[in-house]
A and B are shown apart, each in its own frame.
Chain A
Amino acid sequence: MLTFTVRRLLYGALLLFVIVTLAYLLLYAAAGNVGRTILGPDATQATVALKNQQLGLNSPLLTRYFSWLGHALTGNFGNSWFTNQPVTTAISTRLQVTLTLVLGAVIVSAVVSAALGVWAALRGGAVDRTVQVFSVLGFAIPGFIIAVFLVRFFALGTHWFKPTGYVPIATSFAGWIRTVTLPVIALSIGLVAGVAQQVRSSVIDALRQDWVRTLRSRGLSERSVLFKHVLRNAGGPALSVLALSFVGLLGGAVIIEQIFGIPGLGQIAVLATSQGDVPLVMGLVVAIGVIVIVVNLVVDLLQGFLNPKARIS
């Protein structure tokens, strides 16, 4: 188990290194005259040159890359070109917000889709068809469209929820709920649709297995057969779908945060890429890469927990 974890982490680090290198070289190759971009068209030649020198842009690209990499390994990602804020500070405050949304969406999706999937698998008939229709709609309609309509009807219509903004949970729990509910719903619906389908078919599949009959023949309660044994066996495939969607969820959060005016990673990603704030973009690439790698590792370990055959000793 430990060797497996270490191997996966090393592999992840290698993957991250490739992504980061490519991103760095491409971004700087395309960045053009950075000093001019930052200072604007009115600045004099001399100040632009001074700015470029301050940013260390006069040394060769590879030298700069290795220097950046060295600093990055110590946790120093430099400062934003535009706000001069340290990249780590800018990202870490926003990372919490985005992770709140994304993890919230994952938890909500896991619970709701497990319930819907099991319900559809057991009841069949009208319940099953309704869940199927919901799945098609949830899969077909992009989350941000749902977000737009949620804002249109709930936030503007009923005033139950805030249409924009974010209140940290530490400040006010009620405020947090009012700002976080709609974005989490918008992020979850597509995920619920996909995972519920998977849960449904794996539960139907598991219920057909011989061991279900044998467990029943031992006099176990239907609840134990279903929620302890069948659901655990059906969990693996559903978890795979959930994991595959995680990267997409990070992307979805970019748009959702924009709609609800939430100061998360997405908002800063939009800002940084549109301004061409290369240090900040690089910080984001690293942050997202690390999240993806960690999530994949956690999912593999969970898979091993659910499915003993997938366990690596």
Chain B
Amino acid sequence: MSEAVVSGTLAPDVSSDIRAAHSHLARRFLRNPLGIAALSVLTLIVLAAIFAPLLTSYAPNTASVLNVLQGPGARHLLGTDGAGRDVWARLLYGARFTLAGALLATVVAAVLGIASGLVAGYYGKWFESVSSWVTTLLMALPGIVVLLAARAVLGPSLWNVMIIFGVLLVPAFYRLVYAAVSGVRNELFVDAARVSGVSDFRIITRHILTVVRAPIILQASIVFGIGIAVQVGLDFLGFGDQTIPTWGNMLNDGFTNLYRDSQLVIWPGLAIVLTGVALTLFANALRDELEHSAGPSRRLRRAAAATAAAQAVADPVRPASDTIVHAEPDSSAPAPLLLHIDGLAVGYPQADGSVTRVVDNVSLDIRRGEVHGLIGESGSGKTQTAWSVLGLLPSGGEILEGSIRFDGEDLSRVPSAKMRDIRGGRIAYIPQEPMSNLDPSFTIGTQLTEPMRIKLGVSKGEAKARALKLLGQVGIPNPERTFASYPHELSGGMAQRVLIAGAVSCEPDLVIADEPTTALDVTIQAEILDLLRELQHELGVTILIVTHNFGVVADLCDQVSVMQKGRIVETGPARSIFAGPRHPYTRSLFDAILDESPARGPYAEVRS
């Protein structure tokens, strides 16, 4: 633990940070149009309830047999109900009872839930286990049945019912606060505060409650909505206190008179719907802002990434002739071309209409049977190039210019169904991160056999036999067991072997390996490279290997293309480039790896 934390000076800083974040949240919420509209509607409804006597001259309970079921008109704005009471007045006064009832339930739930959540989360121990048990119990009870039973015992009192309902809703707050508190209980700033002698009470109120304040408001608005719904439901069933005007009682009266005056259900219905929708929109807006404040929004992040990429390719486009080409040692006849990329440009259209280019004017030739290394630092566009060949650019990305000729066919123009035939069958892919590239819900066996059955048209049994043989070939000690395993039961090295088996399973011509060793331990890296080399010898497959590591290139590759800022800067036989790198960027990549003197020597300034 660092000194600054132990000294306790950090705690106030952190909490003021949190407070700043929250006032920021409030300010941002006020800029959310939907949130503002919802809040305004809610405020209007509350004001209408408070100032009900000013908005109508009728009393909500004055019945009149002479005025039963009158339609809307000058004397009664919204007409009268089955007992001759003014609907508009009942709607306004009803808001008072309905909202106050829901508020009571919310307050009861919030106070009990927050208190027990704080105690259970902060102190833990036996209180924690008892609370979680009670929570499970409460959540197993259908609320309305409990309320009906309670009503049978306690009589039709709105307030009693809402208090009991509040108790039933305690888990909503308990779980929220408990999770948040047990999460921050051992945070450094709380430790720091404790060490520096701040009382538990002060820690809870100052450092912990501030963290959960906004989620509590969010939860309260949801609980408030449920409170209204349940209370209206009970009153609607006729189980409420019939002597007070509530929206539920109005709905009950309207439903009773549905055949005589079908518009009576509409007014309380509208009031309930309006309040419910406003509450939900308020909660949604709050949730949106909360999620945004947790980290930069997806849009922002994408924009940032795009800006970075745009900076990477900001220099004026230079012709491909700038690529330094090392001549082939023309001793033997070259193998036929398998992949011929010519002037490829990949870009991502932005919201403002511009297009961010991440690959620009890339030309690349790969001959049958060779292992071609595409090397460059992260962000140089090498993976984007690889994905273009597979036709699997992330959504939004597109090939802007150039062609990708694979065995004579331009992949940038083939229809997607045709591309699907080529993928897996003729061009295969080995990803970078083995653990995240297997579907966690299916066994290794299913994931290996599914493509074989489609691509090779073999039976289930034959696909299984082939899969087991492949698993043995890639060095998996117990193919049968791995076949039946789920991805989470494998180690990273095993998973990468499985992915390599999957890539070669349908006898492809070209395998694209995207940094196949980067995510693995050093010892396993070597094994995987050995495996790739063996497979290449055995199957005679062509490999395009994307990497940032010259060690990998030295180990495996016949040909190398060096990529920087979306372009190929130097290409040629690996031997020749190793012997005499000519482009300054290639030399700097070498320096970074081979220079043995200072591990973090000054990076040679590269001008492109």
Contact = CB atoms under 8 A, between A and B. Distances in A.
B272 A247 contact: no
Contacts of A307: 440-441
Contact of A148 (B251, B279, B390): B251
A8 interface: no
Interface residues of A, number: 64
Interface string A139-153: 111101100110110
Interface string B573-600: 0000000000000000000000000000
A229 B431 contact: no
Given A19-B137, A219-B420, A233 B440 contact: yes
B439 A215 contact: yes
Contact of A276 (B152, B232, B262, B428): B152
Main secondary structure of the interface of B (DSSP, over half): helix
A9 interface: no
A193 B229 CA distance: 16
A270 B239 CA distance: 9
A49 interface: no
Interface in B252-293: 254-255, 258-259, 262, 265, 269, 272-273, 276-277, 279-281, 284
Interface stretch (B207-215, B327-335, B447-455): B447-455
B279 A284 contact: no
B276 A142 contact: yes
Contact of B236 (A144, A215, A273): A144
A241 interface: no
A15 B137 contact: yes
Interface in B133-160: 136-137, 139-145, 148-149, 151-154
B424 interface: yes
Interface in A199-214: 209-211, 213-214
Interface in A1-55: 15, 18-19, 23, 26-27, 30
B439 A255 contact: no
A77 B258 CA distance: 39
Interface stretch (A61-69, A88-96, A174-182, A286-294): A286-294
Contacts of A217: 390, 392, 423-424, 428-429, 431
Residue from A214, A222, A306, A308 having most chain B Cβ neighbours under 10 A? A214
A254 B277 contact: no
B297 interface: no
B499 interface: yes
B302 interface: no
Given A229-B439, A307-B441, A216 B392 contact: yes
A221 B420 contact: yes
B564 to A, nearest CB: 25
B269 A19 contact: no
| Most B CB within 10 A of own CB, among A18, A209, A210, A307 | A210
A219 B441 contact: no
Contact of B143 (A156, A251, A273): A251
A247 B144 contact: no
Interface in A260-313: 269-270, 273-276, 281, 284-285, 288-289, 292-293, 296, 306-309
A151 B142 contact: no
A251 B145 contact: yes
B425 interface: yes
B488 A15 contact: no
A247 B140 contact: yes
B277 A136 contact: yes
Contact of A30 (B153, B423, B447): B153
A218 B421 CA distance: 9
Contacts of B436: 209-211
A306 B488 CA distance: 14
Contacts of A281: 149, 152
A57 interface: no
A76 interface: no
B273 A251 contact: no
B233 interface: yes
A139 B440 contact: no
B144 A251 contact: yes
Contact of B424 (A148, A219, A248, A250): A219
B225 interface: yes
Interface string B338-361: 000000000000000000000000
Given A26-B153, A140-B277, A219-B420, 19 more contacts: A15-B137, A27-B153, A142-B232, A148-B265, A152-B265, A213-B392, A213-B431, A213-B437, A214-B499, A214-B502, A216-B392, A218-B451, A220-B420, A220-B451, A232-B442, A252-B144, A274-B239, A275-B152, A308-B440
Interface of B: 136-137, 139-145, 148-149, 151-154, 225, 229, 232-233, 236-237, 239, 251, 254-255, 258-259, 262, 265, 269, 272-273, 276-277, 279-281, 284, 387, 390, 392, 420-425, 428-429, 431, 433, 436-443, 447, 450-451, 454-455, 486, 488, 499, 502, 506
Interface of A: 15, 18-19, 23, 26-27, 30, 136-137, 139-142, 144-145, 148-149, 151-152, 156, 209-211, 213-222, 224, 229, 232-233, 247-248, 250-252, 254-255, 258-259, 269-270, 273-276, 281, 284-285, 288-289, 292-293, 296, 306-309
